[in-house]
Structure 1
Amino acid sequence: MAVTISDVASAAGVSKGAVSLALNGHAGVGDQTRQRILDTAKTLGWTPSLRAKSLRSAKAYALGLVIAREAKLLGSDPFFPAFIAGVETTLEKHEYTLVLTVATEPGAEERCYRKLADGGRVDGVILTDVRHDDSRIALLRRLGLPAVTLSRPAVPSPFPAVCMDDAAGITAAVEHLISLGHTRIAHVGGAQVYIHGRSRRRAWESALSAAGLATDLFAEADFTAPGGVAATARLLARKDRPTAIVYANDLMATAGQSYAQTHGLNVPADLSITGYDNAQFARYLNPPLTTIAADPLAWGRQAAAMLLAQLDGTHDGGDLVLGPPRLVLRGSTGAVPPHAVPAVAGGRYQHISTAGT
């Protein structure tokens, strides 16, 4: 049974009212009595009732996170488990809980936010998968829900953001491949409706353009393994197939690497591959995956801390920019294959693979 205020009062030889005053830091009890009550509560293992505290303060002591993904895909994406773990490590220090909702049906996402606000179930929300023309920003403003966004939205937003320059990671990956002699470098990107999906594609395009290389090898996917396989298949079916592929996350890269190997290509002798996220499993692939370390655990910690600061009035209103992601070199990238014959087309270099033709 949980230790109650009555238990503390009985053990300390005081009234319940005195215990309440002492435990809540209010005047009305002497210093010696207050200390005796606090010592007794600690000895008995008393902890405050979050429910009672919530009723007194009109706060829910909870933050919301709505994820618009298929439930069966959520566990396979390495970003969200690490991100949620980061959020939880911050909340547990502040007596807050996380209310996680998965929205899978059309219109369900907006209903989830309305339910969280109307029922007073949360004090604020963390907004992930920020989109271009993101209608959720206006919705949260109407609902009066404080929020923190992951990345700065393209639409006007009153909410602070936790940002990371993911373009720096993609640029590093492309430049690494160019240094290995690759000129036909493809990109399997995430859905372009997302801010981070589009920014990673633009970084890939910019890095290639800066080197005078073509940017015609793009395949849009959805950050899932099946999407990564389908996009890889389209790229490798081309006559001018790439000698290297930069993926927008590790999950698609892993699926693409498996697809390529299953269809007779050696990684990296025939095809170099890079991922993004530095998921734990990436180092155990065969070969281990060259990837971008982005630290979703830190994203979660900082997003939760920023929202809590906003709720208690200590946040300065500015965005937080995390350190740039770093390129982690492993065995999935290597020199351009010798059978990739350089040719010039329209003033730009390309590699035409003669293998299998």
Structure 2
Amino acid sequence: MKRPTVREIAACAGVSQGAVSYALNGRRGVSEATRNRILEIARQLGWTPGGGTHRHVRRSGTLGVVVRRPAAALAGEPFLGALMSGIQRAPATGSASLLMRAAPSHAAELEIYRRWHREQTVGGVLLVDLRTGDTRPDELAAIGLPAVALGGPLGRSDLPSVWMNDRQTMRGVLEYLAALGHRSVVRVAGPEAFLRTRTRTDAFVAAACRLRLADARTVHSDFSDEGGADTARRILRSKRPPTALVFDNDAMAVGGLVAAQGLGLRVPADLSIVAGDDSGLCRLVRPALSAVQWPVAEFGALAVSLLRRVIDGGNAADTCTSAPAFAIRGSTGPIARR
């Protein structure tokens, strides 16, 4: 018999998915009567505890992260390095370590979670790279692993999240470029399937409409410098090239800068460029790149602190980081007269 999902159990029991997660995992948050009723309905649907899912067990001090990305993208993306640095710098409440695995597919990722839970390898997991229509929150709840999502807010009581204010930031970047006279702006975004890409796209569209930037649009790449360079060349060779490019990360922005200079464009006289992480790459190139300073290290540290509260059975709610800053450097300037 197929193992029932948290959503299916919740529908049959007439309760929230969060209540089901609390009941199956032996966590506080539901009454004993409700817990027993949910467990009974779950058993009738074919659910089994599987290694102590709904019993209080000794939790490992290790935290887990599974990343499902191409290896080339992992090697060249500063965001992940800054995130891991923040995770390691989280205030310690005891000895803890981070176990990171790469998975080639969704099925492989789930198998890692199941093995970790079965062998009690980790006490909880940080769920990264949220996708539109992501089924992993329900699947993790069914497995029985405490988790915190990096991205959101999701508004789920059983899966608290840490998030950054993408909407406010996209609005600020476009307002800055519009004040310099730029009316044609193209944003080079990451993969369309990622939830944070969609959130930023929605914010970009809303800000462009409010500023009446009719020639503002988003195109997608793969977070790599090669992808950024190829995408920039295609955009800049079009019949109506933009006067400004906004990249979702630094690797793509550096690739875009090199591509623009290779086409004979002067930055910022002919083209302004904004990067998306403000890693050391932004200050090594010439001109140095203006960049959004996302609080990525804080993002990781908050996620760890929140996950420890979840593991300990405490209250945990969606948490927003401090506001991103914007570093203005030599890659942005007033639009040149044409």
Assess same fold via TM > 0.5: yes
- Displacement, 1:75? 2.7
- Letter in structure 2 aligned against 1:178: A
- Letter in structure 1 aligned against 2:164: M
Tell me how far apart the structure 2 counterparts of residues 202 and 215 of structure 1 sit (CA, whole Å): 16
The worse-fitting range, judged by mean Cα deviation, of 196-205 and 208-217 is: 208-217
**CA, structure 1 residues 307+326, in 2 after alignment: closer, same or farther (shift >3 Å)?**
same
* CA contact 2:153–2:163 (8 Å) conserved in 1: no
Match of 2:230 in 1: 230
* CA contact 2:185–2:216 (8 Å) conserved in 1: no
Match of 2:219 in 1: 219
- Displacement, 1:259? 0.7
- Letter in structure 2 aligned against 1:141: A
Match of 2:141 in 1: 141
Match of 1:98 in 2: 98
Percent of pairs with identical residues: 33
- Displacement, 1:230? 2.2
Tell me how far apart the structure 2 counterparts of residues 96 and 154 of structure 1 sit (CA, whole Å): 26
Tell me how far apart the structure 2 counterparts of residues 106 and 305 of structure 1 sit (CA, whole Å): 26
* CA contact 2:223–2:252 (8 Å) conserved in 1: yes
- Displacement, 1:59? 2.4
- Displacement, 1:270? 0.7
Matches within 5 A, 1:79-98: 79-90=79-90, 94-98=94-98
- Letter in structure 1 aligned against 2:334: A
**Does the residue aligned with 1:231 lie in a helix, a strand or coil?**
helix
* CA contact 1:209–1:215 (8 Å) conserved in 2: no
- Displacement, 1:58? 2.6
Are 1:250 and 2:250 counterparts?
yes
Matches within 5 A, 1:34-73: 58-73=58-73
For residues 162-202 of structure 1, the C-alpha deviation after alignment (integer angstroms, 9 at most, x for no partner) is: 11111222211111111111111111111121111111112
- Displacement, 1:143? 0.4
- Displacement, 1:70? 2.1
Tell me how far apart the structure 2 counterparts of residues 131 and 307 of structure 1 sit (CA, whole Å): 20
- Displacement, 1:211? 1.5
Tell me how far apart the structure 1 counterparts of residues 80 and 196 of structure 2 sit (CA, whole Å): 15
For residues 240-295 of structure 1, the C-alpha deviation after alignment (integer angstroms, 9 at most, x for no partner) is: 11010111111111111111111111111111000111112212210011110112
- Displacement, 1:234? 2.0
- Displacement, 1:233? 1.9
For residues 24-52 of structure 1, the C-alpha deviation after alignment (integer angstroms, 9 at most, x for no partner) is: xxxxxxxxxxxxxxxxxxxxxxxxxxxxx
- Displacement, 1:111? 1.9
Tell me how far apart the structure 2 counterparts of residues 116 and 153 of structure 1 sit (CA, whole Å): 26
- Letter in structure 2 aligned against 1:318: A
Tell me how far apart the structure 2 counterparts of residues 307 and 332 of structure 1 sit (CA, whole Å): 39
- Letter in structure 2 aligned against 1:78: P
Moved over 6 A (4+): none
Tell me how far apart the structure 2 counterparts of residues 63 and 123 of structure 1 sit (CA, whole Å): 6
Tell me how far apart the structure 1 counterparts of residues 95 and 89 of structure 2 sit (CA, whole Å): 11
The worse-fitting range, judged by mean Cα deviation, of 60-69 and 108-117 is: 108-117
Match of 1:74 in 2: 74
* CA contact 2:155–2:318 (8 Å) conserved in 1: no
TM-score by length of 1: 0.75
**CA, structure 1 residues 240+283, in 2 after alignment: closer, same or farther (shift >3 Å)?**
same
The count of aligned residue pairs is 282
Structure 1 vs Structure 2 CA RMSD:
1.8
Match of 2:184 in 1: 184
For residues 77-101 of structure 1, the C-alpha deviation after alignment (integer angstroms, 9 at most, x for no partner) is: 1011111111112275520111100
The higher radius of gyration belongs to: 1
For residues 318-353 of structure 1, the C-alpha deviation after alignment (integer angstroms, 9 at most, x for no partner) is: 1111112121111100111212xxxxxxxxxxxxxx
Gaps of 5+ in 1: 1-56, 340-357
Tell me how far apart the structure 1 counterparts of residues 90 and 210 of structure 2 sit (CA, whole Å): 41
Match of 2:150 in 1: 150
Tell me how far apart the structure 1 counterparts of residues 95 and 245 of structure 2 sit (CA, whole Å): 45
**Does the residue aligned with 2:63 lie in a helix, a strand or coil?**
strand
Are 1:274 and 2:274 counterparts?
yes
Match of 1:16 in 2: none
**Does the residue aligned with 2:148 lie in a helix, a strand or coil?**
strand
**Does the residue aligned with 1:168 lie in a helix, a strand or coil?**
helix
Match of 1:317 in 2: 316
Tell me how far apart the structure 1 counterparts of residues 219 and 311 of structure 2 sit (CA, whole Å): 41
Match of 1:40 in 2: none
* CA contact 1:276–1:294 (8 Å) conserved in 2: yes
**CA, structure 1 residues 191+154, in 2 after alignment: closer, same or farther (shift >3 Å)?**
farther
Match of 2:108 in 1: 108
* CA contact 2:208–2:216 (8 Å) conserved in 1: no
Tell me how far apart the structure 1 counterparts of residues 93 and 316 of structure 2 sit (CA, whole Å): 22
- Displacement, 1:303? 0.5
Match of 1:328 in 2: 327
For residues 107-163 of structure 1, the C-alpha deviation after alignment (integer angstroms, 9 at most, x for no partner) is: 322222222222211110001111111111111011011100012266956211111
Are 1:304 and 2:310 counterparts?
no
TM-score by length of 2: 0.79
Tell me how far apart the structure 1 counterparts of residues 184 and 317 of structure 2 sit (CA, whole Å): 40
* CA contact 1:187–1:246 (8 Å) conserved in 2: yes
**CA, structure 1 residues 125+91, in 2 after alignment: closer, same or farther (shift >3 Å)?**
farther
Tell me how far apart the structure 1 counterparts of residues 123 and 180 of structure 2 sit (CA, whole Å): 51
- Letter in structure 1 aligned against 2:324: P
Match of 1:121 in 2: 121
